[in-house]
Amino acid sequence: MAIKPGVQRSHERQEDMLQTLNTFVAKVVGKLRAPSNSTRSNSDLQKALEVSEERFRLLADHIDEVFWLISADGSEVQFVSSAYKKLTGRSSEMLFADANDWEHSMDPQHRPRFQEMMAAVQGGKEPVENEQEFGIMREDGSVRWARIQIQPMRDEKGELMMFLGVAVDVTENKRLEQELKKSLARIEAEAMIDELTGLLNRRAVIQNATAELSRAMREKRPVSLMVIDIDNLKAVNDEYGHLVGDKILKMASAIIEHSTRPYDWVGRWGGDEFMVILPGADLRVAKNVAARMQRMTRDSVLELDDQNELEIRFSLGLTVFFGTTFTAEQSEEEILERLFGEADQALYEAKQAGRDQVRIYGED
């Protein structure tokens, strides 16, 4: 996956700052560990140390990232930049007083992960992830996100001097990330919805039918399929226009949806056809749902602008699959295709019988 330019620059800047601070701290500690017989006087050494420390503080306090120095045993914070309060809402004195103050400000669910990272670094091991993101719970109730990295700092001989911590506020990145996830979820949902009726589209119907069939086979339970066709919709389109035909489709979809159970799947199969998946429904239950649809349809009319009314009628084909009526040689795709064909055949028989009918596959 490509990294956004802004995120890439943030990483590069953090690495640059780390390198610069590493250099400053190494110089300071190197001077502190210089041999006592150094040609430089103590006053010169003290002055050099003060200059180096001042440069370090100026650098650390004028950038947005939080920097802090931790003693080699992890018990004492020796320096923290002013950005600590901006990020956490907690004063730097709190971190000086308690080296674990970072943990107190974190989301409780994130604390074990931070402790694991610290223990790995202090133990001389590489943590699972050297750079991780943590939620920061501010006292005002707001939440910030920080990308935290802990690095051991060693002198020229490789001896551990202290640890350098760096925290970058990535709250805005997190917000954009969440917005992107929501947008992708919305796009994915829209890809499964029929735009006109608001029902599932054919693709979504097939996916859910496949899932319900798999569950029916696994749990040895029935599942029923209905194919519904609006009667004479083509004639309505020819006489009144497609806008009226679309109103019929919307009205029919609402009737079908309100006639089914909350856990049934209702979708537009294409054109003037709808598909209904009824999980766990045997023939008796499926017949009751079909009868309820017919009652609601016969009680409904579409009022036109000229005060005329159009009746809505449909034909329905029904088939029932029992979880025990399949062989190991048959794939789910083959069984599902067979069921779609059975429901379609029953629908054809309903239309041949004079429309406004319900027919069940396999029944005379």
- Contact by Cβ (8 Å): 226, 321: no
Taking the C-alpha atoms of residue 307 and residue 304, their distance in angstroms, rounded to an integer, is 5
Measured at the alpha carbon of residue 244, what is the angle toward residues 191 and 197, in degrees to the nearest 5? 20
Using an 8 Å Cβ cutoff, are 20 and 59 in contact?
yes
d(CA 103, CA 108): 8
Burial profile 288-325: b = 16 or more Cβ within 10 angstroms, e = fewer: ebbeebbeebeebebeeeeeeebebbbbbbbbbbebee
Per residue, the 3-state secondary structure of 314-352, as one string, reads EEEEEEEECCCCCCCCCCHHHHHHHHHHHHHHHHHHHHH
Handedness of CA 351, 303, 199, 280 (dihedral sign): negative
272 is catalytic: yes
Locate 270 and state its tokens. 């294409």
Options 246, 272, 305, 306, the catalytic residue: 272
Which helix (DSSP H) or strand (DSSP E) does residue 27 occupy? helix 5-32
The residues carrying an active-site annotation are 272
